[in-house]
């Protein structure tokens, strides 16, 4: 496209002028299998956990009504015994068409062709293969052989925010469009029966999805990515984990996680993200918070003193889709009501790590 070439070549005294990275297109998609939380419990997890009342209550109180999955444990009941190799083989089979649909949808929303893309970044923590999903997608979509690629792996639920920061840095410095895809297939990692309630919580929360965004230089519409910040509490690193085992990837998820978030979320949002731009939480017009669970959303709303309806998009995504790991915060962003005020996107994950981004209309 001519305007892309002009921006890429723009310079002042021989130096490239930084572009404003603007999100101009977004899309998300799900695997074909869609089930209710009640059906998943009755059809598989009730027997899996021998009908234990505590496991049933965790499923019933998850705040989730429906979920989409690539693997249906009701019909593929042996999934918890699959080797990691079997799960990785299934990953690429399921991920490629899902990722292709999400990226194609985001490009169409932005009005760009695949050959316009300067960088394709893929974030995923639920599957690995070489040649990677990024390379295979670039080929399937017809991107240039010169497109740059970046794979961001094993960061967990918060990966979308640092990935968006990296993509935005590329757009700002290179003056070319970029695409970010977040894709997770957590249903591949059903674990064998256990007394560990952390595993029950993980099985009650997580689902599958793919979400993509297009970021363009100096675009007039969409939302500019203004800033990205992070806090990691190294003293609590053992409270959330994602361990590779011989039977897939195993989640560690302590009930203490919301308490740790409560200690840091105000400092990160108010002091690190908003204050340097002369803003306060009252100036924010939209809150796209990763719905890691009901308690996490309650803590964020309480600590930041948000209005009752401020986190409605996050609660709705949790209810209708479950926690889809890295794509989830991008799905919440798509539901933000139109506003000319700044938007804050937040996500949390292993580390224990908090990430936040500030977006606003150009």
Cα–Cα distance list, 32 to 80, 106, 170, 182, 247 (Å): 20, 19, 34, 18, 24
Angle at 192 between CA 188 and CA 196, to 5 degrees: 110
Classify residue 269 by its DSSP letter.
I
* Phi, psi (rounded to 5 degrees) for 355: -130, 145
Which of 260, 32, 290, 60 has its CA nearest to residue 155?
290
Dihedral sign of CA atoms 338, 344, 168, 362 in order = positive
Which of 124, 254, 241 has its CA nearest to residue 201?
254
Which of 189, 213, 188, 209 has its CA nearest to residue 66?
209
Angle at 296 between CA 352 and CA 311, to 5 degrees: 130
Catalytic residues: 157
């Amino acid at each position: 496209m001519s305007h892309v070439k002009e921006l890429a070549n723009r310079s002042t005294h021989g130096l490239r002028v930084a572009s404003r990275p603007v999100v101009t297109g977004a899309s998300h998609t799900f695997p074909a299998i869609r089930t209710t939380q009640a059906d998943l419990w009755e059809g598989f997890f009730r027997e899996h956990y021998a009908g234990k009342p505590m496991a049933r209550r965790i499923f019933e109180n998850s705040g989730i009504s429906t979920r989409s999955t690539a693997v249906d444990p009701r019909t593929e009941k042996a999934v918890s015994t699959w080797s990691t190799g079997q799960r990785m083989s299934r990953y690429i089979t399921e991920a490629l068409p899902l990722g292709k649909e999400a990226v194609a949808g985001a490009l169409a929303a932005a009005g760009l062709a695949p050959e316009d893309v300067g960088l394709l970044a893929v974030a995923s923590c639920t599957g690995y293969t070489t040649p990677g999903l990024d390379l295979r997608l670039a080929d399937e979509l017809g991107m240039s052989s010169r497109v740059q690629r970046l794979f961001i792996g094993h960061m967990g639920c918060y990966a979308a925010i640092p990935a968006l920061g990296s993509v935005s840095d590329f757009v700002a410095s290179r003056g070319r469009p970029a695409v970010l895809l977040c894709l997770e297939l957590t249903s591949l990692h059903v674990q064998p029966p256990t007394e560990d309630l952390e595993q029950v919580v993980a099985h009650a929360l997580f689902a599958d999805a793919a979400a993509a965004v297009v970021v363009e230089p100096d675009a007039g519409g969409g939302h500019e990515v203004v800033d990205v910040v992070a806090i990691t509490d190294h003293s609590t690193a053992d409270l959330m984990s994602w361990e590779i085992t011989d039977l897939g990837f195993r989640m560690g998820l302590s009930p203490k996680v919301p308490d740790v978030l409560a200690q840091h979320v105000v400092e990160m949002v108010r002091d690190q993200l908003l204050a340097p731009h002369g803003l306060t939480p009252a100036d924010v017009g939209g809150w796209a918070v990763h719905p890691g669970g009901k308690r996490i959303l309650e803590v964020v709303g309480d600590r930041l003193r948000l209005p009752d309806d401020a986190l409605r998009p996050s609660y709705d995504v949790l209810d209708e889709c479950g926690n889809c790991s890295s794509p989830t915060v991008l799905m919440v962003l798509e539901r933000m009501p139109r506003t000319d005020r700044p938007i804050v996107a937040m996500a949390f994950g292993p580390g224990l790590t908090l990430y936040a981004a500030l977006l606003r209309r150009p």
